[in-house]
Amino acid sequence: MQSKDPNPGHLAIAECEARLHGQGRRVVVITQNIDELHRKAGTKNLLEIHGSLFKTRCTSCGNVAENYKSPICPALSGKGAAEPETEDARIPVEKLPRCEEAGCGGLLRPHVVWFGENLDPAILDEVDRELTLCDLCLVVGTSSVVYPAAMFAPQVSARGVSVAEFNMETTPATDRFRFHFHGPCGTTLPEALAGHETETVS
């Protein structure tokens, strides 16, 4: 993932956030993505509800730390192909990545939400606060079938807030939204989020 760059959609969101900030307005990105491409694009107000591939969490003490090393430990060099037929890497447990907090040494895992795990309640509280304040919602490139995130935009729409969906196809939630922009987000978002001469600058 470190070799990947944000696409024009990520960049358009970050540029829109910066422009609106200069007008005294606020943009918050709530993402299920774990790739940090929004952050790399320059987005500042970011809630990563499924965590980040570039953070580790200790399975013993719970410490969360940024980790951009690739691989995160020497034993993982050349390992990690995610193909179904890949054989077990058979890495001895003592060679796996370990917590560097004083006196801990617990096993590290990615700080991401895996299927079947609960989302961080503190992040969900932040999301709930932002959805309550939201006066426009963009739903970008999602299937709208992964819960609880699939309910965020319909919840906002039910309050009468305009929701615009940007996607290659319609989703189970499309009919609940005021707008649907069909096409690649890297094409539709830059045009939709570009500055306009009628914008008020404070």
Residues recognised as catalytic = 50
Q: Which residues are annotated as a binding site for Zn(2+)?
A: 58, 61, 99, 104
Range 132-137, long-range pairs (CB < 8 A, 24+ positions)? 134/161, 135/161, 136/161, 136/162, 136/163, 136/164, 137/161, 137/162, 137/163, 137/164
Binding residues: 58, 61, 99, 104
Q: pTM for the whole thing? A: 0.85
Per-residue pLDDT of the chain (202 residues), as tens digits, is 778 899 999 999 999 999 999 989 999 999 999 999 999 999 999 999 999 999 999 999 999 999 998 888 888 887 766 667 777 777 888 999 999 998 999 999 999 999 889 999 999 999 999 999 999 999 998 877 778 887 888 899 999 999 999 998 888 888 889 999 999 999 999 999 988 877 766 5
Please give the structure tokens belonging to residue 50: 């499924």
Q: Residue 21: what residue type?
A: H
Distance CA 13, CA 58 (A): 32
